[in-house]
Structure 1
């Protein structure tokens, strides 16, 4: 297996403060290329400066680890969820330190990240709920990137804990075939690659194809969209699939991710087709009114609680698809045309830190 570093894609959250950034992998040569981009592009340098400033600003903080996460199924106004979100800000800090370490190789960031990783590994009890445990993505990948700064005993502790998370995910009953499943697949597959569990890896590969077969449709819609009548859920269900495909590409170096991105089920559904379905909404050619025909009671409860994002008829905001198209551009550069429309920036080579990372990954 090639030496890799997992990167967290730092983007602004769309729905709640507890949303986490997605990840892509960079090989050693891609890491070097990222540093080259930063040194030669004024736009990339400006974006990096903001990341570095944020990372330095967190160095005086201490972890706020939890035994349990209270998030999935709770209203945004629930006190337990609000408290959980305060603790999950640890993941934002880990993401910032990971970026800073990646570019500078400064052990200061690794030592600080290690205190957070060990705090959570010694406190949190895995449940197997993929909506909740998906929040650990920055922690999981920070460990992979900074693993050499952990002692053998510490590595054993963290990897045992990660294995417990994956095993709990596998044992969780009745995972629905929607964004729950895509997050579960991503967690199990990524942990399998990190800790060297081939069974977890196989589960992810087989699970991806089964998901495409059963939950993505020929017209580009998804089970998420048909259940929630929300483009935001359609997009959030696709992003873990894209991330998993990219992760497989980077770990395995066999272009298996590209095959998954283009894999079509017997009816014609595919990840590519479901990404393409969003294009006219991202370009403003179509408008989708969210939640109007949702079949999920929680969505109606959120609307009744007065949460603005969940009000039926709320127009889907094209900007919410930006990260999905950035991820998809790893497989097809034609999505850059959509991104240029979303950012309204045709003159800059890089308009987000995310775009810098994707450029490095595509080398």
Structure 2
């Protein structure tokens, strides 16, 4: 496996520079502004978002030096400290998006304040289950990166690059370790990929795409099941494995890359097959008792800790698949009916943002 030096230089892609594929791009922001002027339902949903963003102007960043969620039981002090700190992620994203919608500099300055605070305090430990929580921070950076002053931008980019490099060089990535091929690797690829696209770093992008191909081949099976489902006997982990792969596949598609949704590995596995395998369980045509035959001690520990949903024999609930459905619709609009059967037809603010990306996908592929 290729080893990246810690001193890697961030290189912008010489021929194809990606503006925003992690977040909404300029054209999508323009369309959203128009929608907010002309659509009363969208205006109502936006009002709640705007109120929250305004309140965030009065709040202070609350970063942690190390994110700690993986392997810790509910109630663990380190996990609780991290939970409180991670509230900053949504605040950063809201401030960044509100800046782009309002052009009001105070939202930009506050978002940069949050990003810089995390960049100066947080040190990655190469654990993708922890680092996957930075998703909205990367999106926030992607939204405002052209307007950040050089010194602050350098600080933020160094932090993001260090996070990606620590994942690539992590001992958890070494061949022979389960964490190199299970859901950990799916989250690792998503983390490195989204940072790669946000920073226009060709090395990160190439590494991610190469490893996504091998991950689909090793982690997913031709019948639609996954390594994580086999190990955990839980739809929860099949979903937790697919979600980061879908997020990454959307970014790659928005950058005019391979369609990794329908891409089939040499053994015939694909993300699409693994999404479709879920559908009968989401529709209620099939049922599954979660964790009955899990091989992982942590699952049993969480059950003993009385954490909701982890007791062996807990019936799978279709709403747990909502994150996968909402992402898969980007590639397969026919799944909208399945989504609505679980989630209803009521619109949400995040649903509006997702729809903008789906509409761009239709236009791009026509």
1:357 aligns with 2:361: no
Q: Tell whether the 8 Å contact from 2:127 to 2:172 is kept in structure 1 after alignment.
A: no
Per-residue deviation, residues 300-350 of structure 1 (Å, max 9, x unmatched): 0010111122111112221121121111111111111111211232xx5xx
For the structure 1 residues 185 and 68, does the alpha-carbon distance in structure 2 shift closer, same or farther, using more than 3 Å as the test? Answer: same
Aligned position for 1:324: 324
Residue in structure 2 matched with residue 47 of structure 1 by the alignment:
45
Alpha-carbon displacement from aligned partner over 1:31-59 (angstroms, at most 9, x marks no partner): 22222333333332222222112222222
The DSSP-based 3-state class of the residue aligned with 1:247 is helix
- CA distance 1:149–1:234, shift in 2 (3 Å): same
Judging changes above 3 Å, is the alpha-carbon distance between structure 1 residues 105 and 231 closer, same or farther for their aligned structure 2 residues?
Answer: farther
Q: Give the structure 2 partner of residue 11 of structure 1.
A: none
Q: Under a length normalisation based on structure 1, what TM-score does the superposition of the two structures give? A: 0.88
Cα contact 2:126–2:170 (8 A) shared by 1: yes
Residue from 125, 141, 145 that aligns with 1:147: 145
The residue aligned with 2:227 is 223
Q: Is the 8 A contact 2:37 2:43 kept in 1?
A: yes
Structure-2 separation of matches of 1:79 and 1:189? 31
Relative to 1, partners in 2 of residues 1:107 and 1:262: Cα closer, same or farther, differing over 3 Å? same
Q: Please point out which of 196, 216, 241 is paired with 2:200.
A: 196
- In 2, Cα distance between the equivalents of 1:193 and 1:344? 33
Q: Which residue of 2 aligns with 1:167?
A: 165
Alignment of 1:305-344 (within 5 A): 305-344=305-344
Give the secondary-structure state (helix, strand or coil) at the position aligned to 1:72. coil
Pairing partner for 2:249 from 213, 231, 245? 245
Q: CA RMSD of the aligned region, Å?
A: 1.7
For the residue of structure 2 that corresponds to 1:272, the secondary structure is: helix
Mapped contact 1:51–1:99 kept (Cα < 8 A): no
Aligned mates of 2:97, 2:143 — CA distance in 1: 10
Give, in whole Å, the separation in 2 of the partners of 1:329 and 1:188.
23
Cα distance in 1 between the residues matched to 2:25 and 2:17: 7
Compared CA separation, residues 63 and 43, structure 1 to 2 (3 A): same
Deviations along 1:223-249, whole A, 9 cap, x unmatched?
A: 111111111111111111111111122
Change (3 A) 1:322 1:38: farther
Secondary structure of the structure 2 residue equivalent to 1:26: coil
* 2:83 match: 85
The match for 1:302 is 302
| CA distance in structure 1 between the partners assigned to 2:355 and 2:35 by the alignment | 9
User: Structure 1 regions of 5+ residues with no counterpart?
Assistant: 7-23
What's the secondary structure of 2:24's corresponding residue?
strand
SS in 1 for 2:124: coil
Q: Distance in 2 between matches of 1:340 and 1:70?
A: 35
State whether residues 23 and 139 of structure 2, in contact with CA within 8 Å, keep that contact through their aligned partners in structure 1.
Answer: no
Q: 2 CA distance for matches of 1:118 and 1:240?
A: 25
Unaligned runs of 5+ in 2: 1-15, 174-178, 361-366
Q: Mark the CA change 1:248 to 1:25 in structure 2 (over 3 Å): closer, same or farther.
A: farther
Cα distance between partner residues in 1 of 2:39 and 2:114: 33
SS in 2 for 1:309: coil
Within the candidate set 110, 123, 126, 1:125 is matched to 123
Cα deviation code 1:229-279 (max 9, x no counterpart): 1111111111111111111222x2x2x25x211011233210001111111
Partners of 1:287 and 1:53 lie apart in 2 by 41
Question: Residue 4 of structure 1 contacts residue 145 of structure 1 at CA under 8 Å; is this kept in 2?
Answer: no
- Partners of 1:323 and 1:37 in 2: how far apart? 25
Deviation at 1:2, TM superposition (A): 5.6
Q: Is the CA contact (8 Å cut-off) linking 2:217 and 2:269 kept in structure 1? A: yes
What secondary structure does 1:273 align onto? helix
The match for 1:179 is: 183
